[in-house]
Amino acid sequence: MARYIVMRVLLMAPTLLAVLLLNFLIVQAAPGGPVEQMLSRIEGMSSSAALGGSSDGIVASGDANRGTRGIDPVFIEELNTQFGFDKPLWQRFVMMMGDYVRLDFGESFFRGQSVTTLIIDRLPVSISLGLWSTLLVYLVSVPLGILKAVRQGSRFDLWSSALVILGYAIPGFLFALLLIVVFAGGSYLDWFPLRGLTSPDFDQLSWWGKIIDYFWHIALPVAALTVGSFATLTFLTRNSFLEEIHKQYVMTARAKGASERRQLYGHVFRNAMLIVIAGLPSALVGIFFTGALLIEVLFSLDGLGMLGYEAVLQRDYPVIFGTLFLFTLIGLVLKLISDLTYVAIDPRIDFERRES
């Protein structure tokens, strides 16, 4: 197993390199680079008018007359040099990767802060939303799926299926708006705050008061983020358990007089949970980073999703690639943790033997 872990860790480097290279080329090909964004700010132009510039960030002479009229060409060249666009494409990528090896993600083009500082400042929001949402989904969906499998065809099975499907059909942002209108002072009740992760007087609260204040703020965002996530995991767990329950080894255990609890948790659980665990990394990454963007916007939470979205709009390349590097690395690590959890649940699985 140690050999398998070492091989997986070594493979992370070329995987990261390939992902960053592909996205680097795509982003560079997109119109409206950082220089155009800066010039549009200076000229007071709309950002949409600035999107017709050079994809490589360097303003051509023809574009200079059309889109940068009144701007000193020397100043434009200084901007190109400041953003690093005076160097060839391959050289910029090599320099970026060299900095990433030292965990130096550079400085934001437009925020005046290092990318590392921006990510650290936004991490508490993303960790809060991702951790509690994923935990809530698994705590509800796995027991519910097991119970639905045991009571297959009952009224409980039918009604619970209807409820989770209804939740799945409601978009998260729409449910978030409903929660805001009903519970956050929109039109009816004013029970929950609408902005931020903590209250302004958070530092003056007792440790118990800080815990209450923290969960008070994240209650609605987590609820909105998880409402559509129960269905997939619930039905996955249910179907996985149903498939195992009808296998020969369970019938043999039943014939030997094993209790229903012993059959379920002593034999079925270990095999049925493998497919559920397989979806954990993608669930974590999805909720952690991508799925929370609209929720962050509606509840005024500055997380990594919002940071990445704003960076793409502003063509803030250091922030784009810094967050991309972080997302990819975390995804690869979570996938490795998932494989190790496979082995912990079922020691019969030997990834090292399969690789060989």
- What's the average model confidence in pLDDT over 219-233? 85
d(CA 296, CA 105): 24
Per-residue pLDDT at 131 = 82
Separation CA 23–CA 322 (nearest Å): 12
Buried b (16+ CB within 10 A) or exposed e, 283-295: bbbbbbbebbbbb
**107: β partners:** 114
Work out the percent of the chain whose per-residue pLDDT is above 70: 79
For the whole prediction, is pTM greater than 0.75?
no
Task: Kindly provide the residue ranges of all beta strands, DSSP E only, lying in 158-239, ordered along the sequence.
Answer: none
| Most trustworthy range by pLDDT among 100-109, 195-204, 267-276 | 100-109
Least confident of 184-188, 208-212, 216-220: 184-188
Section 47-73 average pLDDT: 45
What are the structural domain ranges in the chain? Answer: 31-93, 121-311
* Tens-digit pLDDT profile for residues 244-281: 877 777 777 777 777 767 777 766 777 777 777 766 66
Better pLDDT: 99 or 352: 99
Q: What is the pLDDT of residue 159?
A: 92
Mean pLDDT of 68-95: 73
pLDDT bucket at 46, cuts 50 / 70 / 90: very low
Q: For residues 236 and 276, is the Cβ–Cβ distance under 8 A?
A: yes
Topology adopted by domain 121-311: MetI-like fold (1.10.3720)
Alpha-carbon gap, residue 229 to 142, rounded angstroms: 12
Taking every pair of Cα atoms in the chain, the longest distance, rounded to a whole number of angstroms, is 89
Instruction: Measure the CA–CA gap between 87 and 246, rounded to whole angstroms.
Output: 64
Cite the beta strand spans of 47-87 per DSSP E: none
Q: How confident is the model at residue 53 (pLDDT cuts 50, 70, 90)?
A: very low
Q: Averaged over 118-140, what is the pLDDT?
A: 85
Q: Looking at the DSSP assignment, which residues form a beta bridge with residue 114?
A: 107
The tens digit of pLDDT for each residue in 135-156 reads 888 889 888 988 898 888 889 9
